[in-house]
Structure 1
């Protein structure tokens, strides 16, 4: 059993890798808008795959209300 408070999960590692790739893309292009665009496309694609119930739950979650 691992301590989740100090051990990065597979999902967190994947998210960090995606975020770094988007950041690198913006840095390599010399334009931070590339980073924002990459992350926007990712969010749109992920959101599109949610069911209506999952979408409602996402928008009502604590992380969307600034209480995280």
Structure 2
């Protein structure tokens, strides 16, 4: 069985579906209805979202180069 969500209201002999209603249908029939105009497929598992936003990435900086002491004229 596949689940679809109706995008338009549809009625026929023995059925009536409203916009937003979710219906379980056999796979091939659900695919026929889920054309993006009449209905859409509904994900079986919820979409995973991270618990915390990812930390900002920072590049490690190299230590500054030490400059040689200026040569004095002696």
Task: State whether TM-score is above 0.5.
Answer: no
Higher relative contact order (CA 8 A, sep 6+): 2
Greater strand proportion: 2
TM-score normalised per structure 2: 0.22
Pair member with larger Rg: 2
